[in-house]
């Protein structure tokens, strides 16, 4: 959410800078020697000269989503002759807008870096949690297997004991039967 707000602010600042640059260019002397200072007649409602095509919206375009500041390179003028503006107020506003744009870009970079760091940290923690859960599950499965093995061993021993007790009971019954038979004969 904050990244989107910063993107919009940066885009607005860049558009404002571009408008100022356009105004400065329109105030420069034209090749035939005429100085064009009346921008109010030639400006469209959006503040651009009428001879200039409308600028594409960078906030919602697909290229803006690919690279946040890729539109900056397309707005650069020819490096041949730096503009000598006639209005110091416009220059001051342009410098302020450039400073604001630089701050917004820096903030956006910081937010991007922070998001990247948090993502790495989150994935690292998730991987650690998964690994610890796997270890705990493996321990529990080993313990269950051990307990099941002990239970089977106890069942085998119990069966042996029951068999031994039943044999002892039969032997007792056999031993008790002759004694009762011999005691009956004595009578």
Structure tokens at 7: 């993107």
Q: How many CB atoms lie within 10 A of CB 34?
A: 8
Predicted model pTM:
0.37
Q: Can you tell me the distance from the alpha carbon of 106 to that of 155, in angstroms, rounded to the nearest whole number?
A: 73
Q: Is 48 a residue whose pLDDT tops 50?
A: no
Q: How many CB atoms lie within 10 A of CB 58?
A: 23
- Read off the pLDDT band of 66 (50, 70, 90): very low
- Read off the pLDDT band of 181 (50, 70, 90): low
Give the Å distances, CA to CA, from 60 to 63, 111, 180.
9, 20, 109
């Amino acid at each position: 959410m904050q990244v989107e707000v910063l993107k919009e602010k940066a885009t607005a600042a860049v558009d404002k800078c571009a408008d100022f640059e356009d105004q400065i260019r329109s105030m420069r002397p034209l090749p035939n020697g005429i100085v064009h200072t009346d921008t109010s007649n030639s400006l469209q409602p959006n503040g651009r000269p009428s001879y200039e095509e409308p600028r594409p919206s960078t906030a919602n375009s697909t290229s803006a989503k690919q690279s946040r500041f890729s539109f900056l390179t397309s707005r650069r003028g020819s490096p041949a002759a730096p503009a000598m503006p006639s209005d110091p107020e416009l220059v001051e506003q342009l410098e302020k807008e450039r400073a604001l744009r630089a701050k917004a870009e820096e903030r956006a970079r910081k937010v991007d870096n922070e998001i990247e760091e948090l993502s790495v940290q989150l994935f690292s923690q998730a991987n650690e949690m998964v690994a610890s859960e796997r270890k705990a599950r493996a321990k529990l499965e080993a313990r269950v297997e051990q307990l099941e093995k002990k239970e089977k061993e106890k069942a085998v021993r119990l069966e042996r004991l029951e068999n031994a007790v039943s044999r002892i009971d039969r032997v007792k019954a056999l031993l008790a039967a002759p004694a009762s038979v011999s005691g009956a004969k004595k009578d």
